[in-house]
Amino acid sequence: MTPTSGAPAPAERNPYEAMLRRFDAAAKILGLDPNLYELLKIPDRELTVAIPVILDDGSLRVFPGYRVQHSISRGPCKGGIRFAPDVTIEEVRALAAWMTWKCAVVGIPFGGAKGGVRCDPRKMSRREVEQVVRRYTASIMDILGPERDVPAPDMGTDEQVMAWVMDTYSMHVRHTVTAVVTGKPIALGGSKGRRESTGRGVTLMAREALKVLGMEREGCRVAIQGAGNVGSIAASLFHEQGYRVVAISDVSGGIHDPEGLDIPSLLAHLQQRRTLEGYGGGDRIDNAALLTCECDLLVPAATENQITSANAERVRARVVLEGANGPTTAEADAILDKKGTFVVPDILCNAGGVTVSYFEWVQDRMGYFWEESLVNERLERILVNSFHDVRGSAEKHNASMRLGAYILAIARVAETTRLRGLYA
């Protein structure tokens, strides 16, 4: 039985099972060939490594690390590296598959991958984090490369981590290889506009959703769960564009003001303190309450499994914009659909990051770099076209936007897989 209060069942929180449920539903609608079904649902490769590191106190600790390559059908694998204390192989497996579908939805020539290390970078020194990064990179580098697998930042990692990955890889191959990662500092071959790209993409998807629903932008109330790179940049852009950001949160909790938060002041506090704790404006609100607060647009931009069967009925937003990967469980999908909530799914909504990562990879390989205005122009064109492709797919099959996105993505990956054939 699906719970209606309290915590959802453990099975509901398995992200890989959630991905497979959506995959199965889309495959059924497509009438996917059973042989292609078997090929597409299983990752191409999974690697688990042990990462021994001498900590600052002289003790040795071994961290588990993972890299999952879901598909190489459309091109090199692409996907972030996540550092978090609760990383599991099931989570990384799901994230890798989502990357395959995400790249296919926006039509860029990558397959999906994801990496993770089970550690808490917030409780580690800079030297300890660097040692984890370099040993992890050395342990998986046989499957990395501009033509093989191109990592990027994710939760708990950033531009500096990508610089260390690039340097470690380059030292092993004895020449500088900037295209082995994306999301790097601009001085090392990063792309202008990359840091802002995921948050910018969320605001573009909001604009297109409002057009579909006949809603006005001015004064539209936005609640954002997550104040990391995606959430903070989305908040800044929403504020600049005339939306009213009424709530935002981080791991310490959130801030709420139904009249609208002073976003420049809040973000200045966040940049200085690295936490929302201690901010004087608005009222304190916890992350659970933020998801069900009164708003027009809800942006879950933190982590997976935030909207579940336990709280989906109480979500009051007209539009949910999934800035994070997997923030809504499969059980919650049905509840939101029944309520008429317009969900822009993660594999479309947060695809701005991988789109500009693709641009960065292209620029590195050409050795020629674009102005930020050109990056943003090309990003907007791809995302807006993709939004309407997904909407067309959803309308054609009388399905939700999420299912429409899965149908579109799986059809594209299945076609390239069929054309390539099976090497045996």
Torsion of CA 17, 296, 264, 249, to 10 degrees: -40
Interatomic CA distance for residues 73 and 82, integer angstroms? 24
| Cβ-Cβ contacts under 8 Å for 183 (sequence gap 6 or more) | 80, 152, 153, 158, 159, 162, 190, 194, 195, 353, 357, 360
The H or E element spanning position 245 is: strand 244-250
Task: Note whether 412 and 74 are within 8 A (CB).
Answer: yes
Look at residues 199, 278, 186, 273 and name the one whose alpha carbon lies nearest to residue 239.
Answer: 199
Percentages helix, strand, coil for the chain (3-state, rounded to 5) are 50, 15, 35
Active site residue 114: yes
SS3 assignment, position 394: helix
Structure tokens at 325: 């990967």
Task: Note whether 325 and 95 are within 8 A (CB).
Answer: yes
Look at residues 424, 412, 341, 418 and name the one whose alpha carbon lies nearest to residue 110.
Answer: 412
Structure tokens at 265: 């002041």
Residue with tokens 């040993």: 135
DSSP string, 240-268: HTT-EEEEEEETTEEEE-TT---HHHHHH
Query: Pick the catalytic residue: 114, 184, 338, 396?
Result: 114
Cα distance between the two ends of the chain: 44
Positions marked active-site: 114
